[in-house]
Amino acid sequence: MFAEGERQERWLSAEAATAAGYTIIDLNDEWTPFLFEELADPAGRPLPNRYRRVFIGLANDELDGDGQPLEPGGKNYLEVYGIFPSLSVIRDRFLLDEKRTCAVPDDQAAMLAQKSISYVAPPAAKRNAAKQKKAFAELEKARIAANVDTLAALATAQPKQAAKLKEYERWAADQAAIAAAERRLICEGFLPEPEVSAKKKGPLKHEPLMQDEAMRLALRSFQQKHMIYDGHSFRPRTLEALAKPTLENDHAALVRAFRERVIAAADVLEDGSTETKKGPVMYTSASGEKVPLRNLAEEYTKAALEQLGLDTVDGALAFFKRHDDAEFKHLRAGVKLGPRPEYYAPHMELSIVVDRGDVWYDPWFDDQDRWRYPSRSRYPSLTLYVEYRGEKFPLTRWRTTIGGWRAEQAANGYEYYKYKGSDTGPRVIRKIVSGPVWIAPESTPIRSLVKSKKVEGRWQNVVNYDELGPGYLSAYGVVAGYFVIPGQGDAPDVDRGIRAHGSSNYLSIYSDTGYSHGCHRLPNHLAIRLYDFLLQHRHMIVKGDSPMEFSRQFLSGDQVYDMRIPSRGFEFELDPPISVSVLEGTVRGTLKEPVEGFVPKPGKRYPPPPPAELEGETTASGAAAVDKGAP
Amino acid sequence: MSEPDSAFARALAWLRQTWNQAPPTLKQRWPWFIAGGAVLGFLVVIATRSSTPEGEGGQGPTATQAEGRAGSAGEGDPGEPGSAPVQPPLDPKATVADAGAPLSPNVKLTFRTFPPRRATVHWGNKRLGFIDRGKPLVIERVRDSGPLDVVVRSPGYLTVHARAYTFNDAIVDVKITPVEKKDTIYGYQQPLADAGAPELFPIAP
C-alpha cells in the first residue's frame, strides 16, 4: 500500500490512508469491476464467479476467451469489449515503446494529410494504380512538351490537364498514407515484414498498398488496441492514432484503464454524457442554489493521474520504471478526490428511461426486393436518472439499440426475416447477472451457432459459445439487467425477454443501421459502469452462481452439435428493484404496427407451406420465454 | 446340558461324520483344496469389481456418487440398448461448485454415449480414449482449466461435437443419432420440393 501526494510517493497502511481521507485506487493486476469481485454469502462462504478467472486472464494477456492459456506472445486487445489491459500489460508496452517510436515525421504528415481513405478492393485498386500511372506518364509527356518545370505549372498553362492532375495527386496522397500506415503497422507487429508476408498464402498474405484481408485484420487489431470504435479501414480516428508516437498511444491506454479503476474506487458514474450545447444539467442543491452536474469520471481521473504523476507520457514512463511487474501484484494508491455531490447516498432514488428514438416497422426492402434502410434522425438512448429532493435529473445518457428486422430460422430449416421489437411501458430491473449466458432460441440461425476453433493443435468446428457466453463476445455481453413487468400481489414477474446488456457489437450501437433483436445494448465498459453503480448505490442481495441444466442438439452440415450450458451466470438481486420506463419514441414510415410472423428474404426460394412459430421465439413485440431473450 | 451346548455338539458330530465320508483324495490333499478355493474367491471378487463402471480409471468417491445420481434419474442399465432416455438430463449437482468444501485440484470428466455404443473421443489432434458399452471414458483435468471441446465418433452414427466443463466433476452424456435419422435433429433442412421451379412466397406486408 502506498499513497502519493503532490507527486511524492510514500508508503502508508490502507487504514491510515483511508483515515487521512485518501480514496484507494487498486492498481493490482487482479483488479476487476465489482461485478466480478470475490464475494461471499452472509455466512462468509465464498461465492465463486465462473468468469472472474477468465476476466483477469484476459486483462493480463494470459488466457483466451475460453480461459485457456494464450499462445506465447499472444495479445488480447479487448478494450472495445470492456476488458482493459492490466497495468503490467501497459507497463510492458511503455518499456517496449520507449525503444521504438514507430513514428516517422514524413509518414505522420502523409497520414495526417488524409482525413480518411476510401476502401478500394484489391482488384479495383490494381486497375486504378495502372490507370493513374498511365495518367502520370501522360502528364509528364505533356509537361515536357509544354516546356514547364512542374505539373502544377502544366495545370496552370493547360487547364484541361488540371482535373487529371488533381485525380492523380489525390490517388498518390492516398498511396503515400497507406504506405506510411503499412510501415507503422509493421513496426507495431500487426503486419509481417514484406519478405515474410510474401511467403504467406491465403487471406493472411498482404500485398503492398492493398486494402486486403491481412490489412483489414491488422487495422482491426490496431483499432481494438487503441479502443477506436470504427469500421476496419482508414477512418479519421484510425489515421490519427496511426500518426501518433507509440508512447502517446500507450499513455492514452493507461488513462483509459486508469479511468475505469478510478470510477470503480470512487463509485461514481457521471461522465458528461448528459451535457448539451447549453452546457451541463443543472440541479437544485439543499441550499436552493442551481448547481451544474459535474463530470466526475473525468474530474477524478485527472486528479488521480496528476497526484500520481501519471498525467504525462514521461511521468508515466518514470512511474513504470520505478515499479516493476511484481509490485502490480499488490499495489494500491491513495489519492485525494473532491467530495462527491450531495445527492449521493448509500441508497439512491435511481431510475432508467429508454427512449426508442425513431422507430421503423417497414421492412428494409420494397416489393421489388430493393433494399431501403430507414434513416433515423433520433437514435435510441438509455438514461439513468436520480431523484433528489423532489427533483429528477439525468446522470448519464448513452446511445443504445432497439429491435429491428432480423434473420430468424424457421422449423423448416430456412431463414426468414422477422421483426424483433423492443416493447414499451413500465418495467423494473430486479436481476443483474454478471457473466450472463444467452440461451439461443431455436429460431437463431444455425450458421451463427457454429464456429471454427483451434483445439489442441487442430482446427475443428465447435458450438459458438462466444455467442452464448459467458464472455465479452456473448450476445448479453459481460453483464445484463433483466427487464420484467413486476408481478402484482403474489404473481411472479413477467419476463418478455428484453434486457439492457453489454455488447461486443459496438457498431450496432453506434452505426446508423444498427439494430438489436429487441434488447438495449451498451458497450461492455459502460454496461459494467452502470451495473457496478446500481449495485453500489441500491440495496441488493448477492445471489451467486446460478446453475442450470440445459442441453440441446442441432444439425449443421452432417454433424451434430451438442450445446451445453451449466450456469446462467452470477446473480445479484436489487431489492427493491429499479424502475425502468421504455418510451414509444416516434414511429415513422408507412406501417404503424410491427409485422407478425416470418417474411421471406428477398430473392430466396422456400419450400411450402409457410413455417409456424418456434418454441422460445420472441414475438414481434419482443416477448420471449424466460432466459431465451432477444439480445 | 444347555441348549447351545447341544447344538454345538450336534454340529461337531456332523462335521466328524462328513469328514469320515469324504473321498480319500480330499483327506490326503485338503490344504490344496482350501488354497484353490481362496484363489477362486479372489478372482470372483476382482471380476465383479472390474465389470462396474467405477472400475475404469480408478475413480474416487465423487465420481462414484455422480454415477449413482445419474443412474437414479431413470437411465436404466447402461448396458441395455434402448433403455436410455432420448435426452438424458445434465446433473445439476455435478456442475454446482461446492463453496464450503475444499476443492481438489483436479476434476473427473466422464463421457458416455446414449444409446451406449463404442465410440472414440477426440480433443483436437489428441485421442482421449474410447467409450465402450457400459464403460464410460473417464479423464482427469486440472480444475477450472477451461473447457474441453471434444468430437465423439461412433460407426453408423452422426459425429457429435460436445463440450465438457472443468469447474466440477461432470458426466457428459452424449446422445448419438444413427446417420439415417438425421432428419430428426433440429436444423435439418428439408429439401426443396422442386429444385427447378422457383417457388417464392409473396412478401407479407
Alpha helices in B29-174 (DSSP H): 30-50, 61-72
Is residue A346 pLDDT above 80, yes or no? yes
Confidence of residue A566 (pLDDT cuts 50, 70, 90): very high
pLDDT of A630: 63
Residues of A in contact with B167 (CB under 8 A): 50, 566
Which positions 66-125 of B are in contact with A (Cβ < 8 Å)?
A: 87, 89-92, 95-97, 99-100, 123-125
Measured between alpha carbons, how far is A49 from A415 in angstroms, rounded to an integer? 36
Alpha carbons within 13 angstroms on the beta-carbon side of residue B204 total 19
Measure B117 CA to nearest chain A CA, in Å.
Answer: 16
On whether the CB atoms of residues A551 and B165 are closer than 8 A, the answer is no
Q: Is A413–B190 a contact, with Cβ atoms under 8 angstroms apart?
A: yes
CB spacing of B203 vs A600 below 8 angstroms: yes
Which triple of cell numbers denotes residue A250?
A: 500507450
Nearest CA of chain B to the CA of A69: how many Å? Answer: 9
What is the mean predicted confidence (pLDDT) over A137-144? 94
* Contacts with B90 from chain A: Cβ below 8 Å: 549-551, 564, 566
Q: What pLDDT is recorded for position B54?
A: 34
In a domain, A289, yes or no: no
pLDDT of residue A411: 80
pLDDT tens sequence for chain B (205 residues): 334 456 677 777 777 777 777 767 666 777 777 777 777 777 766 665 544 333 333 332 222 222 222 223 233 333 333 333 333 333 333 334 444 567 789 999 999 999 999 999 999 999 999 999 889 999 999 998 889 999 999 999 999 999 999 988 999 999 999 999 999 998 888 776 654 443 433 333 3
Q: Within 13 Å, how many C-alpha atoms sit on residue A53's CB side?
A: 13
In a domain, A503, yes or no: no
Q: Find out whether A465 and A65 touch, Cβ atoms under 8 Å.
A: no
Judge whether residue A612 has pLDDT over 90: no
Q: How many CB atoms lie within 10 A of CB A361?
A: 20
Say what the pLDDT of residue B2 is: 39
| A453 vs B149, B170, B172: nearest CB | B149
Kindly state the percentage of chain A with pLDDT values over 90.
75
Contact B90 A595 (CB under 8 A): no
Residue A153 lies in a domain: yes
Q: Which residues of A touch B163 (CB under 8 A)?
A: 462-463, 465, 562, 564
Q: Is residue A127 part of a domain?
A: yes
| Cβ within 8 Å, pair B91-A549 | yes
Residue scoring higher pLDDT (A623 or B35): B35
- pLDDT the model gives residue A393: 98
For chain A, the 3-state helix, strand and coil shares in percent, each to the nearest 5, are 30, 25, 40
| Domain total in chain A | 1
- pLDDT value of position B196: 45
Nine cell digits for residue A616: 422460445
Is the per-residue pLDDT at A542 higher than 90? yes
- Expressed as residue numbers, the domain containing A134 is 105-243
Q: Hey, are the CB atoms on A554 and B174 less than 8 Å from each other?
A: no
A583 phi and psi, to 5 degrees?
A: -85, 150
Highest mean pLDDT among A6-15, A63-72, A95-104, A280-289: A280-289
Which among A449, A561, A559, A551 has a CA at the least distance from the CA of B86? A551
Burial class (CB in 10 A: 0-12, 13-18, 19+), A335: buried
Identify the structural domains of chain B with CATH numbers, from first to last: 7-50 (no CATH), 53-89+104-184 (2.60.40)
Instruction: Give the whole-number percent of chain A exceeding pLDDT 70.
Output: 95
Q: Are A617 and A436 in contact (CB under 8 A)?
A: no
Q: Confidence class of residue A442 from pLDDT cuts 50, 70 and 90?
A: confident
Answer yes or no: is A163 within a domain. Answer: yes
* CA distances in angstroms from A530 to A40, A364, A507, listed in the order given: 22, 33, 20
Taking the C-alpha atoms of residue A38 and residue A319, their distance in angstroms, rounded to an integer, is: 29
Residue A140 lies in a domain: yes
Nearest CA in chain B to A365: B203
Contacts of residue A566, Cβ cutoff 8 Å, sequence gap at least 6:
A547, A548, A549, B90, B95, B165, B167, B170
Q: What predicted TM-score, i.e. pTM, was given to this entire model? A: 0.81
Answer whether residue A452 is part of any domain.
no
Q: How far is CA B200 from the centre of its chain?
A: 51
- SS (HEC) of A27-83: CCCCCCCHHHCCEECCCCCEECCCCHHHHHHHHCCCECCCCCECCCCCCCCCHHHCC
Q: What is the reported pLDDT for B163?
A: 96
User: Between A and B, how many CB-CB pairs are < 8 A?
Assistant: 158
| Distance from C-alpha of A438 to C-alpha of A297, rounded to nearest angstrom | 31
Reading the block at residue A342, the C-alpha cell is 450531495
- Residue A351 and residue A579 in contact, taking contact as beta carbons nearer than 8 Å: yes
User: Does the structure show a pLDDT above 60 at A229?
Assistant: yes
Q: Which pLDDT band holds residue A536 (cuts at 50, 70, 90)? A: very high
Residue A194: predicted pLDDT: 84
Q: Nearest CB to B144: which of A53, A454, A548?
A: A53
Q: Is residue A460 part of a domain?
A: no
Q: Which residue has the higher pLDDT, A406 or B24?
A: A406
Residue of A45, A53, A444, A551 to mutate when probing chain B, most B C-beta within 10 A: A551
The CA dihedral of A67, A70, A75, A80, to the nearest 10 degrees, is -20
Is A595's pLDDT higher than 90?
A: no
- Could you tell me which residues are beta bridge partners of residue A285? none
| Cis preceding linkage at A576, omega within 30 | yes
ipTM of the complex: 0.78
